[in-house]
Structure 1
């Protein structure tokens, strides 16, 4: 069990909010509007539930950050790690929260809005300030959370190491004769045992179900001769883990082993493409080229990777057309796969970070196909 890293301070959150406001100004935006969700957690440390009552962080270059909150939630907001770095403006039930927020905004400005903001709140602002316009933060500021500092990297490293411990343990359990949901429950319990506070997913795709990349573990009984895709992760110390390995119940056939070997080679090629100055699409191209070379191009049906941080999926994305350059501190998955409908699937996934001279894996379990009972 890893030691809890030092907490982020109010100064850390102040610096993040300042960077976000400055990045918005550089992008030609009047400011950034952040609703409850991962962006708000990243910028302030505050983690309220999203409800019909408006909670909104307003950031604009040259202005102090302001958090608009319902009065009944103000005591919780005041306890947030970044609270001392911002001003709270509360509103009581019966008042119009959009009228309270309007004086904080440029009435003719264009604002970046966190992707998970509720439509009812955005429409309320538009009604109050018809001259404003809005763009999703993923589009306007895709790099907002992408580059991690050293303490974030330590958290991601710890999460990855915990996921590796989980994989080592799951190889010891019996697969044959048990349902996919049984293995998924084992994975969830192990994630919590190794320090995760939240389990986000436990994909267990056995036999033909493995050909569905996001198969929800079901009641299918795993049998001798099955290939089984395992993909699991969640949050530890507030940062994500996400890893995939494909195991086989009993000895694999020559054909099954060949497909697994192709995916393993593709995963290594994708990792080998990670270096400062390369583009996100270069990682996808490197992995995809191997799979295509061996005749399985049409069976690789998803992007090669996604960013990870305070959520398990976030920008940047390793996909054709994404020309964003890789820079040290960016963290993302490299997870090529081959999916053969009606037969089986194979996926191998590591979380990696860009270093000054290449890349570093946060997952270090064997990538060779493991044989389980």
Structure 2
């Protein structure tokens, strides 16, 4: 990837994001947005407190006013060094004073606000108590597509993260599996992700044998043996953007049944990928994958949605699931990860990150989908 592809976001970039979010809020009938520490705040203004505590930190966005960041006084120096700090006004409050008094003067009486999904109940209740006429909606409900459409630089970062995860997968194929614990393989995956440029490892799922039938099994103390199917699902953050990929490998030569189940999932994943295009509904991607698995007689063993968005976090809107009518547009990035899970026996999942493009789709993971044999 070129240097331009990973260039740092500028103050102007953050200002544009905040302005766009404020306009989107107004278009949705909201008086503004109340953004607490977490991925929304990082994406909008680049600020991530060193520790998220009971002290109120709040980014207030409204189409009628300039962006405002309310912070504890002791954290103001860190906030002022955030990359987007120059694009907003800052107000601080001191311990022993009412933090909500530092906020409510910014809010419209009786206003309806979108609030970050991860806002502490402590703070939301404090706002309600201080400004009882206000009402609040979770940001995912109010503006589900706020971060869903990525610009070219975001896609470039996601592609780089995907390439690093691909390199990790290629390397893990050469390590021994037989006789080692799941936790040992997970440690190898974490080490490799970091070696390939990840600053943060979010998960290293290693589900061997019957553990693979649990989609979110965490690597444990089970010893992997020849004859096991092993689900490998891993990812994290590189240059601030997420990776997330899954491949399923077999220790030693697979049985005919194991190969057949894997082939069904591989076909489902490819069919869903081919369904991606501008204007398709998110649920269409889920339906495409699910139809293949149902037609093969394993519908009851595909027990989760087909995909989720990815960006500055590894799970975010849009979601590829039945009932999601949101249409795909160029720049949306999301996973396609169908699976079959046979309780007490084994599981199979194949996952790529995909971006919707002007003329269709593009994979951001490009390792082979065939069932790899490891030793």
Q: How many residues align?
A: 373
Tell me by how many angstroms 1:281 deviates: 0.2
1:16 alignment partner in structure 2? 17
Tell me by how many angstroms 1:5 deviates: 1.1
Whole-angstrom distance in 2 between the partners of 1:131 and 1:341:
51
Relative to the length of structure 1, the TM-score reads 0.99
Give structure 1 stretches of 5+ with no counterpart.
none
Tell me by how many angstroms 1:50 deviates: 1.7
Tell me by how many angstroms 1:162 deviates: 0.2
Tell me by how many angstroms 1:189 deviates: 0.3
Match of 1:266 among 268, 273, 279: 268
Q: 1:176-227: per-residue Cα shift (whole Å, max 9, x none)?
A: 0000000000000000000000000000000000000000100000000000
Q: 1:60-84: per-residue Cα shift (whole Å, max 9, x none)?
A: 0121000000000000010000001
2:358 alignment partner in structure 1? 356
1:291 alignment partner in structure 2? 293
Tell me by how many angstroms 1:2 deviates: 7.8
- What is the DSSP-based 3-state SS (H/G/I as helix, E as strand, rest coil) of the residue aligned with 2:91? strand
Tell me by how many angstroms 1:100 deviates: 1.1
Aligned pairs (5 A) from 1:46-57: 46-48=47-49, 49-57=51-59
Whole-angstrom distance in 2 between the partners of 1:319 and 1:101:
37
Is residue 139 of structure 2 the alignment partner of residue 128 of structure 1?
no
Whole-angstrom distance in 1 between the partners of 2:218 and 2:266:
24
Whole-angstrom distance in 2 between the partners of 1:351 and 1:345:
20
Q: 1:285-336: per-residue Cα shift (whole Å, max 9, x none)?
A: 0000000000000000000000000000000100000000000000000000
Aligned pairs (5 A) from 1:166-185: 166-185=168-187
Whole-angstrom distance in 2 between the partners of 1:29 and 1:198:
35
1:87 alignment partner in structure 2? 89
Is residue 244 of structure 2 the alignment partner of residue 242 of structure 1?
yes
Runs of 4+ in 1 over 2 A off after TM superposition: 1-4
Whole-angstrom distance in 2 between the partners of 1:199 and 1:104:
38
Q: How large is the Cα RMSD of the aligned pairs?
A: 0.9
Whole-angstrom distance in 2 between the partners of 1:327 and 1:274:
10
1:33 alignment partner in structure 2? 34
Whole-angstrom distance in 2 between the partners of 1:336 and 1:145:
24
Whole-angstrom distance in 2 between the partners of 1:101 and 1:321:
37
Whole-angstrom distance in 2 between the partners of 1:150 and 1:171:
32
Whole-angstrom distance in 2 between the partners of 1:358 and 1:369:
26
1:231 alignment partner in structure 2? 233
Relative to the length of structure 2, the TM-score reads 0.99
1:256 alignment partner in structure 2? 258
Q: 1:238-259: per-residue Cα shift (whole Å, max 9, x none)?
A: 0000000000000000000000
2:167 alignment partner in structure 1? 165
Tell me by how many angstroms 1:107 deviates: 1.5
Whole-angstrom distance in 1 between the partners of 2:328 and 2:237:
24
Whole-angstrom distance in 2 between the partners of 1:25 and 1:2:
37
Tell me by how many angstroms 1:363 deviates: 0.2
Whole-angstrom distance in 1 between the partners of 2:43 and 2:6:
16
2:319 alignment partner in structure 1? 317
Give structure 2 stretches of 5+ with no counterpart.
none
2:8 alignment partner in structure 1? 7
2:45 alignment partner in structure 1? 44
Q: 1:30-80: per-residue Cα shift (whole Å, max 9, x none)?
A: 100000000000000001132111000000012100000000000001000
- What is the DSSP-based 3-state SS (H/G/I as helix, E as strand, rest coil) of the residue aligned with 1:351? strand
2:304 alignment partner in structure 1? 302
1:221 alignment partner in structure 2? 223
Whole-angstrom distance in 2 between the partners of 1:89 and 1:155:
33
Whole-angstrom distance in 1 between the partners of 2:114 and 2:102:
19
Asked whether the 8 Å contact 1:2–1:158 carries over to 2, the reply is no
